[in-house]
Amino acid sequence: MKKIFILFFISFPFFACSQEKVSLKDKFEDYFLIGATINQEDYQIIDKDEKILKIVSEDFNSVTPENSMKWMHSHPEHSKFTFSNAQKITDFAKENDMYLLGHTLVWHNQVPDYVSKIEDKSKFNLHVKNHIFQLVTRFKGKVDMWDVVNEALNDDGTLRETIFLEMMGDNYIEKAFQYANDTDPNVELAYNDYNLYKPKKRKGAIKIINSLKDKGIRIDAVGIQAHWDLHFPSIEEIEETIVDLAATGIDVMITELDITVIPNPYELAGIAREEFKKFEGDKKWDPYQSGMPDNIQKKLTNRYKEIFELFVKHHDKISRVTFWGTTDKYTWRNENPIRGRTDYPLLFDRDYKKKPAYKALVEMDLSNID
Ligand code: G3I
């Protein structure tokens, strides 16, 4: 008995130490990549916040530039490309041997005004082709996968009316994938969208994937964005989404995971920002300004645990799980859909500390999940 007791005390520090050292990327190494985003705004990082970079390099093996490669930042004027911030993230990713996402080539959001002033359809088409060519070429051999087209669907599964649809026609998605493939046949190509748990929207995504495949146009993966909350979508809905999308035969990725814990006046997507202005500063919509209550912390922890149990169960279909952000301090959720709020959607808190949800994930028992 005494012997066992002594042995426990000798081994305890080593045990505690090895527990402490498990990172997210090590924990899920046999299942999928674990990603985070890096932003570029003045309140944030790249060369400004070393603590973020430390977290990203220690816990993650994939990175997505949250904004730097988007059209407004990479191609702000008709004939001007700016890659310095995207390049810094690329260098960081390569120094740390991380899987790098190119986000994103064709998206209706964050497109500079000059693009909508190109009135001639064939010139517009050429401009998009050149945009794709320039970005894919610039990051050839560095970006591992491009989100070629982002958020092309309405919630009812029809194509969203964007400038790309209007100017390039119904087959603009095919063209975008074709241009990306022609520029770099080795980089992986993905379609990325939110609300794919809604059956009609998911059907729309499957239609896009199958139509590309039928026409012999390469698509390697589909991204489920995963901007979710404490209750919606349900685990069953998430499971159906993963299973249905995987049945198309391409990789499924969770690309933008975060769990908002504060209330939202309307459904999360599709409402114009101006409509939320009237709620700014209203405590009803920003209830946890001075900290997250314990019961909400527990709910968040359980929600993350359940979600990851599901991801592990379907790890044969999922190649990557990326969190949209790194710490609660910098999440886009604090500014969306109502500006200036205090949300807690990620695994690291405002002081860069690991939250209980982080601990629950690295301590999960993965042996019984099937
Ligand atoms: O660049 C300007 C800067 O010059 C100005 O000083 C500052 C003042 O607010 O605004 C800056 O623009 C911000 C932009 O990010 C920077 O790239 C916008 O205000 C801000 O609204 C914008 O938010 C980004 C949002 O996409 C735009 O739609 C978020 O950071 C980013 O997390 C979010 O990411 C999207 C994914 O790309 C696609 N899926 C949904 C996801 C969440 O919305």
Closest ligand 1 atom to residue 39 Cα is 30
Indicate the top mutation candidate among 38, 39, 41, 146 to test ligand 1's pocket, ranked by most ligand atoms within 8 A of CB. 41
Residues 148-157 have pLDDT tens digits of: 999 999 999 9
Atom 26, ligand 1: which residue's CA is nearest?
67
What's the predicted TM-score (pTM) here? 0.93
239 is catalytic: no
Atom 43, ligand 1: which residue's CA is nearest?
332
Distance 254 CA to ligand 1 centre (A): 20
The yes-or-no verdict on residue 311 having pLDDT over 60 is yes
Atom 27, ligand 1: which residue's CA is nearest?
110
Q: State how far the Cα of 249 lies from the Cα of 144, in Å rounded to an integer.
A: 19
Q: Which residues line ligand 1 (CB under 6 A)?
A: 41, 66-67, 109-110, 150, 225, 256, 332
Q: In the prediction, which pLDDT does 266 show?
A: 67
- Average pLDDT of the chain, as a whole number: 92
Residues 138-148 have pLDDT tens digits of: 999 999 999 99
Of the residues 66, 151, 174, 188, which is catalytic?
Answer: 151
Of the residues 66, 174, 188, 256, which is catalytic?
Answer: 256
Distance 29 CA to ligand 1 centre (A): 31
Indicate the top mutation candidate among 39, 66, 193 to test ligand 1's pocket, ranked by most ligand atoms within 8 A of CB. 66
Q: In the prediction, which pLDDT does 129 show?
A: 98
Atom 3, ligand 1: which residue's CA is nearest?
41
Q: What percent of the chain has pLDDT over 90?
A: 84
The yes-or-no verdict on residue 186 having pLDDT over 80 is yes
Distance 70 CA to ligand 1 centre (A): 10
The yes-or-no verdict on residue 1 having pLDDT over 50 is no
151 is catalytic: yes
Atom 32, ligand 1: which residue's CA is nearest?
332
Residues 81-125 have pLDDT tens digits of: 999 999 999 999 999 999 999 999 999 999 999 999 999 999 999
Atom 16, ligand 1: which residue's CA is nearest?
67
Query: Which pLDDT band holds residue 20 (cuts at 50, 70, 90)?
Result: low
Indicate the top mutation candidate among 69, 332, 336, 339 to test ligand 1's pocket, ranked by most ligand atoms within 8 A of CB. 332
Q: In the prediction, which pLDDT does 15 show?
A: 43
Q: What percent of the chain has pLDDT over 70?
A: 91
Q: In the prediction, which pLDDT does 317 show?
A: 98
Closest ligand 1 atom to residue 324 Cα is 32
Structure tokens given for 174: 């095919």
Q: In the prediction, which pLDDT does 50 show?
A: 84
Distance 67 CA to ligand 1 centre (A): 7
The yes-or-no verdict on residue 214 having pLDDT over 90 is yes
Q: How far is CA 81 from the centre of its chain?
A: 24
